[in-house]
Amino acid sequence: MKYSIGIDLGGTDIKAGLLCEDGSLSCRLVVSTKVDEGVKPISTRIAQTIRKIINATESESSRNKKIIGIGIGAPGLIIANSGIIHFSPNFPGWTDIPLLDYVLTELGDINLPLYIDNDVNVMVLGELHHGAGVGYENVIALTLGTGVGGGVVIDRQVYHGSWNTAGELGHTIVQPKGRKCGCGNRGCLEAYAGAKGIVERTQQRIAEGKNTSLNTDDLTPKQIADAANDGDELAVEIFSETGRYIGIALTSIAHILNPQIAIIGGGIAAAGESLLFQHIRKEFKQRTMDIPSDMEIVPAKLGNQAGIVGAAMLAY
Amino acid sequence: MKYSIGIDLGGTDIKAGLLCEDGSLSCRLVVSTKVDEGVKPISTRIAQTIRKIINATESESSRNKKIIGIGIGAPGLIIANSGIIHFSPNFPGWTDIPLLDYVLTELGDINLPLYIDNDVNVMVLGELHHGAGVGYENVIALTLGTGVGGGVVIDRQVYHGSWNTAGELGHTIVQPKGRKCGCGNRGCLEAYAGAKGIVERTQQRIAEGKNTSLNTDDLTPKQIADAANDGDELAVEIFSETGRYIGIALTSIAHILNPQIAIIGGGIAAAGESLLFQHIRKEFKQRTMDIPSDMEIVPAKLGNQAGIVGAAMLAY
């Protein structure tokens, strides 16, 4: 069996694990990122985490000989082939940081190939090989979280585009004069289906006097989903509307790319079939032309593990 | 020098020519398609046209030995790798027609490889190799005509998607509750930037009492463009609005695919820089994120020849 190490570098935690080629994950570790300390100490912590995993496999067996490489997933705009973080919203001040070089230096005598890609591309790669994308060639994926991330897979390869920015599916326009998006544009999918969009649309309806069990303060998508499950009319409406916006974006994407399957993950996707997915599919089917409308729309399978699994898959 | 034959199969005419690898076109022929006669006589006419071009090259020189193949561009959904026209709006009743087999039979002893693809994909291929796309890897193209066609080029290959329907860029949604599109959906780019969309939007404003030199009857996009060039306020507004809708679609496409260049052709694109292109670019720049907004937006170069040139390029 072959193994690889996956690092999910987030603004809060560095999550790591050892992925077996059969898809099983072991040696899971979580350490604090401590963003404020800057890139050098973070590189040291990443290298220490890698070393710990390698040591654990050495003490267990001779498995370390079969570790074929290490992958890192990180938020932001990553120049995958040169190992550089061009810009990352979670790491203020990081501009064109050669993270792979730093980590390689810290790794010293550990001579394994090291790879990096955007966290959403990495999630897609995980789902492609060990999740909902197994057996498909052309896949798109959305992650519904604080923002709405996306990834495009063509012929089982993550597609990076001309300047590493392909797959920004959260910035497909769904309402040209609509809500302001964090990117500066109006009416992006993210402005409706990201956490902030969902919460603010709910607060706006409450302010307009809509009857609901929800309070405007400290509202989260999870609370809205819970209220929807308890039958709250506004909450149900907010999620069905979210689903319709996602369906509109998927129609454009299916007409442009004709993928076989759309995989939807992230915390907000946990709202599930009746609150969310049925509305996505209905809107998509109504709007999309005959043949591309055969695209399947399914939830992601790997959940929180997608980041580690996908990062580890970079080594293949 | 190598040569190939290009056939542009339209609902009205079959246009053909001999393309030299340097991009020059010769032996141009046009014969009537006569759609009503059905697929067999049309296949015969295509084969006769091919034979005429080969004979012309034989009588001129020994150039025929260097003809490496023949390509056909046809409207509709084409299954390129099996040579089948699955469906074509210009050929009523044609369903899963193995056109390449028919033409090959008619060609008899002419033993040259024969290829077919969708007319818009073929136009993109022509622009890619001998037009505005020379030197670019990742290209998208729009043709603004009766409908709004599209094509996607990735790594200098036309991308067909999972079921041969990728590149339907005219069905990117630009206004979710907007105008009804011919595809059945609402608010597709085609419903605004196709000939019918442009004419109907103009007629609607006239009906609303908007002051203009235009008459509602028998209106064409060309007349509206001419009026705009003469300073007609409504006509100018219609074209700038058309440009803004194209800019919205290009924003979504640039975020999804991150191409280097968008090539825009077709009769309506003839409205040119001041009426159309400047509005496309302005809307696109305002809406698109920093890096993907570097995508260039340029007019197509090959004009009417794109269909023949691109079809001939299928042989390479």
CB A149 within 8 A of CB A189: no
Q: Which residue of A has its CA nearest to B249?
A: A173
Confidence of residue B62 (pLDDT cuts 50, 70, 90): low
Q: Which residue of A has its CA nearest to B287?
A: A185
Q: Residues B164-208: pLDDT tens digits? A: 999 999 999 999 999 999 999 999 999 999 999 999 999 999 999
Tell if the CB–CB gap between A252 and B164 is shorter than 8 Å.
Answer: no
Q: Which residue of B has its CA nearest to A295?
A: B162
Nearest-CB residue to A258 (from B165, B253, B295)? B165
First to last CA, chain A: 13
Does pTM surpass 0.90? yes
Euclidean distance between CA atoms A150 and A263, whole angstroms: 10
Q: Which residue of A has its CA nearest to B151?
A: A256
Give chain A's residues under pLDDT 70. Answer: 59-65
Euclidean distance between CA atoms A14 and A44, whole angstroms: 12
Nearest-CB residue to B255 (from A172, A260, A286)? A172
The number of angstroms, rounded, from the C-alpha of A47 to the middle of its chain's C-alpha atoms is: 23
Both tokens assigned to B284 = 């696109």
Euclidean distance between CA atoms A157 and A163, whole angstroms: 16
Q: What stretch of H or E contains B114?
A: strand B114-118
Amino acid at B258: N
Average pLDDT, chain B: 94
Q: Which residues on chain B are in Cβ contact (under 8 Å) with A178?
A: none
Averaged pLDDT, B104-119: 94
Interface test with B, best of A252, A260, A283, A293 (most B CBs within 10 A): A252
Both tokens assigned to A310 = 């996908």
Euclidean distance between CA atoms B114 and B53, whole angstroms: 15
CB B199 within 8 A of CB B242: no
Averaged pLDDT, B133-153: 96
Q: Is residue B60 predicted with pLDDT exceeding 70?
A: no
Count of CB atoms situated within 10 Å of the CB of B1? 8
Q: What stretch of H or E contains B197?
A: helix B195-207
**pLDDT at A65 (0 to 100):** 56
Interface test with A, best of B256, B257, B261, B290 (most A CBs within 10 A): B256
Q: Residues B211-268: pLDDT tens digits? A: 999 988 889 999 999 999 999 999 999 999 999 999 999 999 999 999 999 999 999 9
A137 touches B at CB < 8 Å: yes
